[in-house]
Amino acid sequence: MAWVEKDHDDYLVSTPLLCTGLPTSRPVTVSPPFLFNCHPLSIFTPLIPHGMCHAVLHSRNICLICFPDGCRDLIPCEDSGALCVQACSPSFHGEISFVCEDRRWRMFTDACANLDVQSLFQVVSEGHIAGGHFPFAVPGKPMHGKPADGAKYFGADDHGRSNCQADFSCIIPDILSSPAIPGNIADIVELLKKISLMLSESVNRGKMQSYSKIANHILNSSVISNWAFVKDRNASSTLLDSVNLFAGKLLLRNGSENIQEHFISTKGFSLHRNASGKSFDFSMELNKTNSVSGRVLIPEEELQKLPETSKAISIAFPTLGAIIEASRPDPVSVNGMVLSVSLPEELQHILLTFEKVNKLENVGAQCVGWHSTERRWDNKACKMKSDNISSVVCMCKHRRRTFRSFSILMSPALLRNAVLDYITCVGLGLSIFSLILCLTVEMAVWHHVTRTEITYMRHFCLVNIATSLLIADILFIVAAVVHSTALNYRLCVAATFFLHLFYLALFFWMFTLGLLILYGLLLVFFKITRSVFVVTAFIIGYGCPLVISILTVSITEPKNGYLRSGACWLNWYETKALLAFAVPALSIVAVNLAVVVVVVVKTPRPSIGESCKSRDLSNMIRISKNVALLTPLLGLTWGFGLATVVDSHSLAFHITFSLLNAFQVNSASLGIDNGKDHLHQFTNTGNSHLGIKGGSM
């Protein structure tokens, strides 16, 4: 960012300026024309004398400089993923960071703020916190307000001070008058968190009203897009936990309470053991044109579990689902309001009714609970009772430590179909059976089929391919069981690691088999010994996968980015850990595809005495048999997964991909048992050391 002080009516600088005093060892020449005091927030304030400019340089790039028609790149971004950090306008504290994507700077986070939440919290906490010092001040972090600034919120008299401590109302005007920009949103979330942790005793109606007004300011539908640039990606989850904690301690007047804001509503009432079912009904504004409703019902049979009179609190958030979606990269979207409940521990099951925001017929719904410790939506918390075009009824488990907030999801990009699940289950069962049968047959006939060097090498590869896939299939079931039960995190990490390892081993052994075929076809006069092959094959087949798997878990797990949300498998949206599987697998598929092309070219031609039509037909049959056998053995069916990436909504692509891979091993086994002559046919002519036509496989 470059600023130049205006010294006359002309906003343009006509001569180049030399920017000095930058955080770099070299000066930067700024060429005209550019506009003085350009800022992403369009806040123009003279900064430094004419003839000088100020910029923040990072990764050899200055993000932006301002021209008459807007802000442009001063030095175009070149390295994808490079970050550029810039200071905020003098009236704000914090910084803005940009990331280089597609050779353009894109805003990544915006921490510019003009609120002093530390002073605001000090105002409401005096009298509650002994010692008079600010309990949340971070060592080394500057205070942006003046020491005496707190007095302006309540005046000098003790009466004003006590009133502020009673209901927090004295800080409301400053917060509501501040813009709900990403930096202020983050600070307000931090303020609400501190109030919930330190000042949540005896939460009366006045405190809850003030708390709701503050939360409502950053829950407004007009500022949802700003949440995408909040530096802390878990800020929305922190806000939800803070509101639940604070509202859960609300004191009820005359057995009930109702506190309503546009984008947050809190209700509470007393519970009695002999009462009939109790319910909370909400109807709230979603935006200027739409509204949404929800209902929380505590069944009568649950109320019978109460040992004494207690209370129930429920909070409705019509926009929080969209805010969570905006601040997280998950491929799901919330299709209703978020409903939170605070109940006695004895009450563990509740019925929730959600009105759908998107009422299209082809949009499915999924009942979910927000896992507060893992900060993700979890479908194990709820079961769907009914689903129609306009609403969904869910039966959910209430747990104070984990599940207190619930909603419904729609996942247009995440294809779910009973046919796919059926194909996977049947194919997995047949795959395991066929692999066990294949290995059993290999053990029985091993000495008969490995008499020559080349047959030994070939069967050695086939046995390791079958073993790797069998272990991977078993681990696939283990990972599914671990995830569908308690989701023990460490066990899930272990299952994912070994699943990643053995799926990679499968591909690298198919790669080894492809190299062996090329060796037999192209290197006719080069002989490799059995011991050298075994060592080389083990290094490729198990050594490479082990290195990749260890590097993946060691790099991503310390940042909690190894596992994907809601499954025991590699993460994609946060850390792209899945690339550690996809890149090697697809690269091997590409290499093996080239091997098949070589095989087709090298396929022996029919004898000269045959007619033209007979030669063409015979040649086509030979090529077809070779391709049909090698396609499953070399894993070429996995390449069809690219089609599901290109069009993730196509059910036909997903079913085809599931069929091809679920029955890959069965096709390979049939090829081994019934088509053994075909593999020898394309390796017979001029390559006698690879196999003998008609010989045993």
* Total count of domains within the chain: 4
Q: Is 531 inside any structural domain?
A: yes
Which residue range is the domain that position 82 belongs to? 17-110
Q: Are residues 209 and 257 in the same domain?
A: no
Structure tokens at 401: 């430590």
Pairing of strands 265-271, 256-260: antiparallel
Q: Are residues 401 and 384 in the same domain?
A: yes
Q: Is 0.95 surpassed by the pTM of this model?
A: no
C-alpha gyration radius of the chain: 33
Q: Which residue in 379, 374, 367 sits closest to 338, CA to CA? A: 367
* pLDDT for the residue 84: 80
In a 13 Å sphere around the CA of 582, the CA atoms on its Cβ side amount to 12
Domain of residue 526, CATH code: 1.20.1070.10
Q: Where are the alpha helices (DSSP H) in 126-282?
A: 158-167, 172-177, 182-198, 205-219, 235-247
* pLDDT for the residue 612: 63
Q: Are residues 187 and 98 in the same domain?
A: no
Q: Are residues 429 and 410 in the same domain?
A: no
Q: Is 688 inside any structural domain?
A: no
126-135 own/partner pairs: CB under 8 Å, 24+ apart = 126/150, 126/161, 126/165, 127/161, 127/162, 127/165, 128/165, 128/198, 128/199, 129/198, 135/198
Structural element, H or E, at residue 532 = helix 530-538
Please report, for residues 3, 117, 239, 271, the alpha-carbon distance to residue 268 in angstroms, rounded to integers and kept in the order given: 54, 29, 20, 10
Q: What sign does the dihedral 44-47-48-52 (CA atoms) show?
A: negative
Kindly give, in sequence order, each residue whose CB lies less than 8 Å from that of residue 302, ignoring residues fewer than 6 positions away.
347, 348, 349, 350
- Are 195 and 243 in contact, with CB atoms under 8 Å apart? no
DSSP 151: G
C-alpha torsion 203→208→209→210, nearest 10: 90
Q: Is 222 inside any structural domain?
A: yes
Query: What's phi and psi for 32, nearest 5 deg?
Result: -75, 165
Q: Are residues 167 and 234 in the same domain?
A: yes
* pLDDT for the residue 295: 93
Cis before 33? omega within 30: yes
Distance CA 342, CA 354 (A): 18
What does the angle CA 649 – CA 654 – CA 657 come to, to the nearest 5 degrees? 150
Domain boundary among 205, 222, 251: 251
- E strand map for 457-516: none
* pLDDT tens by residue, 320-374: 999 998 887 665 789 999 999 999 888 888 999 999 988 876 667 889 999 888 8
Q: Are residues 266 and 241 in the same domain?
A: no
**Is 86 in a helix, a strand, or coil?**
strand
Residue 17, pLDDT > 70, answer no
Domain of residue 400, CATH code: 2.60.220.50
Q: Among 108-117, 123-132, 481-490, 609-618, which is the least confidently predicted range? A: 123-132
Mean pLDDT of the chain: 75
DSSP 141: P
* pLDDT for the residue 361: 64
Query: What's phi and psi for 279, nearest 5 deg?
Result: -145, 150
* pLDDT for the residue 91: 84
pLDDT > 70 fraction of the chain, expressed in percent and rounded: 70
Q: Is 2 inside any structural domain?
A: no
3-state secondary structure 341-353: EECCCCCCEEEEE
Any idea which residue has 């069944």 for tokens? 299
- E strand map for 388-517: 391-397, 403-410
Distance CA 93, CA 114 (A): 6
Domain boundary among 399, 414, 429: 414
Residue 431, pLDDT > 80, answer yes
Query: What's phi and psi for 399, nearest 5 deg?
Result: -130, 125
* pLDDT tens by residue, 668-693: 444 443 333 333 433 333 333 333 22
Q: Is 536 inside any structural domain?
A: yes
Q: Are residues 205 and 288 in the same domain?
A: no
Domain boundary among 414, 441, 464: 414
Distance CA 498, CA 510 (A): 18
Q: Are residues 337 and 301 in the same domain?
A: yes
DSSP assignment string, 595-607? HHHHHHHHSPPPP
- Are 676 and 696 in contact, with CB atoms under 8 Å apart? yes
Q: Are residues 49 and 173 in the same domain?
A: no
Angle between helix 530-538 and 453-484 (nearest 10) = 20
412-421 own/partner pairs: CB under 8 Å, 24+ apart = 412/333, 412/363, 412/649, 413/331, 413/648, 413/649, 414/331, 414/332, 415/648, 415/649, 415/651, 415/654, 416/364, 417/651, 417/654, 417/655, 419/651, 419/655, 420/654, 420/655, 420/658
Distance CA 30, CA 351 (A): 64
Residue 309, pLDDT > 80, answer yes
Q: Are residues 594 and 462 in the same domain?
A: yes
* pLDDT for the residue 507: 94
Q: Is 132 inside any structural domain?
A: no
- Are 203 and 249 in contact, with CB atoms under 8 Å apart? yes
Q: Are residues 587 and 617 in the same domain?
A: yes
Please report, for residues 279, 519, 530, 637, 694, the alpha-carbon distance to residue 513 in angstroms, rounded to integers and kept in the order given: 65, 10, 14, 16, 20
Q: Is 538 inside any structural domain?
A: yes
* pLDDT tens by residue, 592-623: 999 988 888 887 655 555 556 666 677 777 77
Q: Are residues 519 and 589 in the same domain?
A: yes
Q: Is 656 inside any structural domain?
A: yes
